[in-house]
Amino acid sequence: MNVIVFASRKGGSGKSTLAAHLAAHVHKATKPCLLIDADPQGSLTLWHKLRGTNEPAIKTAVTSVGGIIAAAKRDGIEWVFIDTPPNMSAVVEDSIKNATMVIIPARPGVFDVNAVQETIQTCRAARKPYAVVLNGAPARRDDVESPIVTIARESLTKFRAPVWGGQITNRADLLMALSHGEGAREYYAEGRAAAEIGRLWAAIERSVKAIRGNAPASGAMHKQAA
């Protein structure tokens, strides 16, 4: 079983959005996924209500996640996705402690990029693999990324943060899907939003395989905190 934690002390960076879209992308009855909503704001819980099915299942965590994760392991859950609040409270620390890998979403702005440092420090202190995912980015034009995204990558490189090479573009489809309780692929399988979520998932899977020692670390997007 693998635990993917979405963390960043910046609100609005895309933790809940990525958790919902990736969970909808990954969940299969044969390889079930469990969501843990550790944010009292309850965005993921709202999406799950709109979805109206219990697939994937969802649990709420207030101060710790260990008990839920142990039960999920017994139940044969393959993937656990934890959405966390935009702070460094006990439940965030505990989620990171239990993570296989931490995804740190960041919008490509100077304040946003700067704000990831605290979450990175927490990952490093807990010796957990992590990667930053640029989210809400301006669309690529003629296959060239926006200068804003390039600048964000450069700043992240300066504090040696590992960054996914792709981007999640700011897209109405991602919002529309959420308002229907769906993931990008369920909403519009051929759309660009679905393609980007699929690419992000492939990168996460590759990293997790490398973390588990089942694939070479070269080409993986994460950094193994030492």
Ligand X SMILES: Nc1ncnc2c1ncn2[C@@H]1O[C@H](COP(=O)(O)OP(=O)(O)O)[C@@H](O)[C@H]1O
CB 223 within 8 A of CB 211: no
* CB closer to Mg ion out of 84 and 155: 84
Kindly state the smallest distance separating residue 209's Cβ from Mg ion, in Å: 27
Least distance (Å) from ligand X to the CB of residue 40? 12
Which positions from 26 to 45 touch Mg ion by CB under 5 A, shown as an x/- string?
A: -----------------x--
Q: Which is nearer to ligand X, 103 or 210 (CB)?
A: 103
Q: Which range in 7-15, 87-95, 162-170, 203-211 contacts Mg ion by CB under 5 A? A: 7-15
Task: Please say which residue, 117 or 170, places its beta carbon nearer to ligand X.
Answer: 170
Sheet of 57-60: strands edge to edge?
57-60, 33-37, 79-83, 2-6, 101-106, 130-137, 168-169
Using CB under 6 A as the criterion, which residues of the chain lie in contact with ligand X when the complex forms? 11-17, 43, 86, 135-136, 168, 170-171, 174-175, 178
| Residues of span 41-80 touching Mg ion by CB under 5 A | 43
Residue 175 contact among ligand X, Mg ion, none, beta carbon within 5 to 8 Å by kind: ligand X
Paired with 137 in beta bridges are 169
Kindly list the distances between the CA atom of residue 179 and the CA atoms of 43, 47, 52, 135, in Å, as whole numbers in the listed order: 11, 7, 12, 18
**Residue 128: both structure tokens together:** 């957990």
Nearest to 3 by CA among 41, 37, 35, 43: 35
In the chain, the amino acid numbered 24 is: A
- How far, in Å, CA of 39 to CA of 62, rounded? 8
Residue 56 binds: one of ligand X, Mg ion, none (C-beta under 5 to 8 A by kind): none
CA neighbor of 87 nearest in space, from 14, 6, 9, 5 = 9
Which of Mg ion, ligand X, none sits in contact with 122, Cβ below 5 to 8 A by type?
Answer: none
Kindly state whether residue 87 participates in binding Mg ion, applying the rule CB under 5 A: no
- The binding site for Mg ion (CB under 5 A) comprises 15-16, 43
